[in-house]
Chain A
């Protein structure tokens, strides 16, 4: 405590930007004892991700994933959201900044607004919708989208009839319809906005991105030909909440297009008309869009025009292969030089050069431009405001070795402002900056946060059920297929139901308030919401009823969207019948629900890190700086892992010096213990309370685990490797370059994708393209007379790495594409080597003599991954890399609580990405370790010894070892280890195990309703 008092560091953080990256950082920080001020320019948080339809590879609805997170941010006690806000100045230094924030007038008083939306319905002024990318309209008083957080409407003073006419000096009042419509009296035309000042310890910049304005590329016809749309517009077209309600239609004539073309790299990889960098995400979103389009309408024939297919991420190549093989997506390697409209039909004629050089005109019915990312228009000004240096492209300047640090101490950057990246990398950086801020402000943790005062839980045991039922329209997601009113009518008089109604969006923030009021007014003691999947939305409603004084397990969710409206589109009557039955089932269960008492367990504020490579060391330092005890267990006799073989990064940083200093920091940190030449023998326990025994007998108590077991480099068996000393790997070449062992005038032929992107290793190793480019540049810079050929399948220098690809070409490195079905052939030839390969541009075979053949060998998971995976019961993907809890939103978590992953153990990645992920895992672990006590889920199995026959069925099948044979020789149960998976309950022949809230009597009651026929016949 004395520490906290003597420090002048603030326990709060300013997060600039409310997209998914900013939200992740805010939640991690706020969940671990820091106050967060979130500043968002738009009237709602959400950023770019809310506009997306689905996300790959799971096909999860983007809004459905982010909406609960937005609500979580919106309702978090320790996050203050300032919307329509911009930071105007920052003073002070790390640990203690003062930031002035300018809040633009909203003209609606958030304290009075209920979010009912009546004003919006009455507003006569239509404005092209930003959310629908100008394909639809919004009103001048509006919420950015229906699930907006906060849901307070805002008046757009650029369009409002009253405000614009008043500004022009009109004598008479114009319109004011919103004011008349507002029952709450929340409209305030005289709002002038305000300026506030916050005092924070650290600043996180997450301002997100702008998109390239494709109208600049006039030859592509955006804005001129109506059936040419941007990729973001196409997301809205695909979206069920979009302007065409999910039907794939052409804007010009509502026709369903058959042939649809995607044009890649519009605004990217083009230094002349656009941006020189690669936007990193367009190859994959085009692939996703073509698959989803095909799922919406099987007649669509998608074609993607591209330069290089950059499917560099985890499992991306598999997704592209699926698009090709299962969905028939055509990938055409060509750049489209012009698009013209076929007069009359609205079809579009694309001109492009086939690989052999012949010109082709091909007609499509619709064209999607895959537009790239760029920093915000005002990025230069933004950087000045925060006193940070931008890079040449106006992204925040960072270094690969400190990927989330800006040039100003205490100011961190996350997401696309640091460089183009996808959702999981953004989320990862969100947790990473949170980890950095936690480390910086550790002594001020908990000084500015407030604790939630929950009302006491109402005693409902023994009361008759009083169930409230809310049936959600989900906009039109449910209501266009299911007759929602009919559902309400069918259930409102069921036994136990005291109130039933329908609602447009059950998940919106104002509905949460409605629910709380209902609980009070109708004296409800159970709640059923019929909407979407409990996976994303159950926690939200549970928290809402808990706020209203009910035990959160008195809630049940009936999924009438995923399990009904979405899969029975076009069958209104049957879908409505089914929805009624689904809701009846939930009500049947609800009647039998009982409050569940949840327990808490203490937390050991220490972390075990398995693997002493750069990921493990980075995570260790961050956690140790956060104030937690850290133990690193490294199998080898020295720290460093694979990075020991690395000399320089692509950007030229000295890796050896970095590694040495990092090892030095780890070795000298008082809170870090290093065990080398040691492995874990076994770990027992659960989140917050693990106990690990090492092979040297040491016992460690810890609250979290980070798996950074790393990877290994593939040792090639092809291309005469090991048979000729003239065939080396990129890593071996790098060593030669570093030792200045390269001879002048040599010729190098590099072969990419050795051991990658082919069955059984159908994945990209992500780093090899850059490795080849890095070494090629080093050779050419040292010795311009050297010749370097790079034989590649796709060059994947994504993001800002594209610069180096360009540089290599400028230095005279020759890139020759090869096809996987026609691989290069390497032979010994005199003292040197010869490489035969087919050149698709020249349409002939090349025979290249070489002094050195350099193989870009990829990564494999470390052999210990399997063992460690089994030890901690975490799963791996088919390639053997650890599988995270959710590929988009939980990229460093495992489903088992308290266990995290970082680095190559997760997937192949670059050094900067490994460092980022390591910081992220430290941030996530910090959230767990910062708690004195953790609440254990109420959804666990309960064991009744009086019914148990000790037949051992449970003991044999439990994946978490929670049933055990007690000292009396009978089965007993350790509830803390229980995950509530229910396997024991399913297998127990005596029904001695019952999972809370999923008890047999509840499930059977549901089944009885599900199979209920005319009761006069069925009986029983």
Chain B
């Protein structure tokens, strides 16, 4: 799921302080689970803004709302009319949600209330870890189920660099060396010999480097193409 982290309140305040009517708009899926931007957090942020506004003597109307998901337009619809009555929407959805709403809301600005971090797992309550970088070309079958792109700081493909140190990465003692984990795991699986195969230089065009990505299901693509033909 998408992991987000609330922005420092000072930053939020600077974004919203010049507006008169603000909606803090939460998304009740991924960012809710990571306690960053669900309806509950939206409510808390709204309260904090109201308190701050009162302290600063700034007249401001702040409300909150939350919907199931900000990345699908159908969820917006029932609330869209009301949302459009605000001067500013502070979205606590992930960056996807902010973009998505911004495209649909007309003349009202949509600002981000959280920083979107990564997509990750929840190993224990309140802890979120990045295990996949979404590169568009998965090789986990070659690396013992541990991703060198997400978990090696340098995204190396052919073993660790010289900075590996007793299982830790040179960037921090807190960060495991991804390649150390890969080797240990493959020893355990008895597949270390796979590592002797040299990985060719990688084609990063499937990842962010290839520009904004779009996935369209094959049958939909066919439909789209048909439509396009008809129109032309």
Report A's interface with B, CB cutoff 8 A. Answer: 949, 951-953, 956-957, 987-991, 1000, 1004, 1007-1008, 1011-1013, 1017-1020
Contact = CB atoms under 8 A, between A and B. Distances in A.
A989 B61 contact: no
Nearest to B39: A991
B38 interface: yes
Contacts of A991: 39-40
A956 B41 contact: no
Contacts of B57: 1017
Given A957-B125, A989-B40, A990-B39, A1018 B54 contact: yes
B124 interface: yes
Contacts of A1017: 54, 57, 59
A988 B41 CA distance: 11
Contact of B125 (A956, A1011, A1019): A956
Given A1011-B54, A1019-B53, 13 more contacts: A951-B32, A951-B33, A989-B38, A989-B40, A989-B41, A990-B28, A1008-B47, A1011-B51, A1013-B54, A1019-B60, A1019-B61, A1020-B46, A1020-B53
Contacts of A952: 122, 125
6 contacts: A949-B33, A989-B38, A1008-B47, A1017-B59, A1020-B46, A1020-B53
Q: Ordered nearest first, which 9 A-B pairs have the shortest CB separation?
A: A1018-B54, A956-B125, A951-B33, A989-B32, A1020-B50, A1013-B54, A989-B38, A1020-B62, A1019-B61
- Tell which of B28, B47, B125 has the most Cβ of chain A within 10 Å: B125
Chain A contact residues: helix, strand, loop or mixed? loop
Contact of A956 (B40, B46, B60, B124): B124
A990 B32 contact: yes
Nearest to B60: A1019
A988 B28 CA distance: 12
B34 to A, nearest CB: 8
A1012 B54 CA distance: 8
B5 interface: no
A953 B63 CA distance: 26
Interface in B19-47: 28-29, 32-35, 38-41, 43, 46-47
A952 B123 CA distance: 11
Contacts of B47: 1004, 1007-1008
B33 A989 contact: yes
Contacts of B122: 951-952
B53 A1018 contact: yes
A988 B126 CA distance: 11
A953 B125 contact: yes
B33 A987 contact: no
Nearest to B33: A951
Contacts of A956: 124-125
Contact of A949 (B28, B51, B54): B28
B62 A990 contact: no
A241 B67 CA distance: 56
B59 A1019 contact: yes
A752 B47 CA distance: 62
Contacts of B28: 949, 990
Contacts of A1008: 47
B32 A949 contact: yes
Contacts of A1011: 50-51, 54
A121 to B, nearest CB: 47
Nearest to A1016: B59
Nearest to A951: B33
Contacts of A989: 32-35, 38, 40-41
A636 B206 CA distance: 68
A1007 B54 CA distance: 13
Contact of A1020 (B29, B35, B60): B60
Q: With a 10 A CB-CB cut-off, give which of A951, A1008, A1017 has the most chain B CB atoms.
A: A951
A1017 B60 CA distance: 8
A1000 to B, nearest CB: 8
A996 B79 CA distance: 29
Given A949-B28, A956-B124, A1017-B57, A990 B63 contact: no
B43 to A, nearest CB: 7
Contacts of B35: 953, 987, 989
B40 A1018 contact: no
Nearest to A1014: B54
Nearest to B40: A991
Nearest to B29: A949
B38 A990 contact: yes
Nearest to B51: A1011
A267 B177 CA distance: 75
B125 A987 contact: yes
Nearest to B1: A951
A1018 B51 CA distance: 8
Nearest to B28: A990
A1011 B54 CA distance: 8
A957 B122 CA distance: 14
Contacts of B46: 1020
Nearest to A991: B40
Contacts of B59: 1017, 1019
B101 to A, nearest CB: 20
- Among B51, B57, B122, the most chain A Cβ lie within 10 Å of the Cβ of B51
